[in-house]
Amino acid sequence: MQVLNVVGAGRVGRSLARLWHQAGAVRLGGVCARRTDSAADAVAFIGAGQALALDAMPPAALWLLAVPDSELAAVAETLAGRIDSGTAFHASGALTAAVLAPLAARGLATASAHPALSFAEPARAVREFAGTPVALEGDAAACQTLSALFAAIGGAPFPLAAAAKPGYHAACAIASNYAVVLADLALRTAQRAGLDAATARAVLAPLAGQSLANAFTLGPAAALTGPVARGDAATVALHLAGLDQVPADADAYRALGRLALQLAAPGLEPARIAAVHEALAR
Ligand SMILES: NC(=O)c1ccc[n+]([C@@H]2O[C@H](COP(=O)([O-])OP(=O)(O)OC[C@H]3O[C@@H](n4cnc5c(N)ncnc54)[C@H](OP(=O)(O)O)[C@@H]3O)[C@@H](O)[C@H]2O)c1
């Protein structure tokens, strides 16, 4: 069985290592972090491996570099001074395999493998990993190895071109992070209108959940409802009159309203499009 060394024993490193260990897909070698107690904690979570410093890691066929993106280049440079074979990969959504160039120059196969899942809570990420899409990019040989490795833990690997990574990662950030910002905007708007926090959550959570689910099943244009979709400029103006107390929120409403209007425009009369456009510009 191939040995896996894990450099960076945080949320992603310990979760993936535990999944591969539980699946019997690898034999855990060394686990390294900045702090020794953190590496020891990760070893306990994984249930295998040895907490070691980077320069004491054993030989391995697989090297997972699960350090923060800002540390990847430096760690790759340091490792390149010690190893000259195997497959090295990182889990960043934004960076490509190119950040591992010092290791590629030493003869390693290199790749990036981004699981589209939040690892905020490792125990939960381990429980919910099955079915997670994993964007693979890099050397053909490394991608082939990783495709089998992620499939062994129930992941759904798919190929991604290096040039597509920034756009791919922006899309993931919009879907995940900005959906949270939209929830915050809606909750604050409801509370400013006088709803208490619990009522605001009870009203808005099902609405938001249903709308997002509809957008991905029916398609965004078919899922869009509300004043912009109806071409109702008077209601848009009414909303903005309230939101104008908080200029940043009103700006967000205007920007999102313009995107909603683009989506709705094919089904609206030109006069209604112009009226909504004008209401959003005020
Ligand atoms: N979090 C997510 O949901 C998620 C999802 C997909 C992909 N990713 C990607 O996964 C990678 C890791 O993210 P993460 O969220 O797991 O980070 P994290 O929880 O902050 O863990 C980073 C780990 O790296 C260690 N570390 C930092 N600098 C190091 C160095 N120079 N040498 C050795 N170890 C070092 C840290 O040590 P200490 O524990 O001692 O501080 C920690 O164990 C990133 O590329 C990120 O973009 C994250």
Same domain (yes/no): 15, 146: yes
Of 5, 6, 12, 100, which is best to mutate to test ligand 1, by the most ligand atoms within 8 angstroms of its C-beta? 12
Same domain (yes/no): 111, 173: no
Same domain (yes/no): 47, 184: no
pLDDT in tens, 178-230: 999 999 999 999 999 999 999 999 999 999 999 999 999 999 999 999 999 99
Decide which of 145, 160, 175 is a domain's last residue: 160
Length of the chain: 282
Nearest-atom index, ligand 1, CA of 9 = 43
Give the pLDDT mean for 260-275.
97
Q: Give pairs for 168-177: CB < 8 Å, separation 24+.
A: 168/93, 168/114, 168/135, 169/93, 169/94, 169/114, 172/93, 172/116, 176/118
Pocket of ligand 1, beta carbon within 6 A: 7-13, 32-35, 38, 66-69, 71, 75, 90-93, 114-115, 118-120
Give the pLDDT mean for 258-278.
97
Total domains in the chain come to 2
Nearest-atom index, ligand 1, CA of 10 = 21
* 245 Cα to the center of ligand 1, angstroms: 40
* Residue nearest atom 19 in ligand 1 by C-alpha distance: 10
266: domain range?
167-281
* Residue nearest atom 18 in ligand 1 by C-alpha distance: 10
| pLDDT for 70 | 98
| pLDDT for 57 | 96
**Facing residues of 50 across strands?**
30
State the angle between helix axes of 247-264 and 233-243 in degrees (0 to 180), rounded to the nearest 10. 160
Same domain (yes/no): 206, 81: no
Decide which of 119, 141, 160 is a domain's last residue: 160
| pLDDT for 191 | 97
| pLDDT for 189 | 97
* 42 Cα to the center of ligand 1, angstroms: 12
In our burial notation (b when 16+ CB lie closer than 10 A, e otherwise), range 140-153 reads eebbebbbebbeeb
* Residue nearest atom 27 in ligand 1 by C-alpha distance: 67
Q: How far apart are CA 149 and CA 86, in angstroms?
A: 14
* 163 Cα to the center of ligand 1, angstroms: 24
Same domain (yes/no): 99, 229: no
* Residue nearest atom 32 in ligand 1 by C-alpha distance: 34
* 12 Cα to the center of ligand 1, angstroms: 7
* 7 Cα to the center of ligand 1, angstroms: 9
Q: How far apart are CA 27 and CA 25, in angstroms?
A: 7
| pLDDT for 214 | 98
* 66 Cα to the center of ligand 1, angstroms: 5
pLDDT in tens, 128-181: 999 999 999 999 999 999 999 999 999 999 999 999 999 999 999 999 999 999
CATH number at residue 235: 1.10.1040
| pLDDT for 88 | 98
Nearest-atom index, ligand 1, CA of 68 = 44
* 120 Cα to the center of ligand 1, angstroms: 11
Same domain (yes/no): 132, 205: no
Same domain (yes/no): 152, 18: yes
Same domain (yes/no): 194, 176: yes
Mean pLDDT of the chain: 97
Of 67, 75, 165, 180, which is best to mutate to test ligand 1, by the most ligand atoms within 8 angstroms of its C-beta? 67
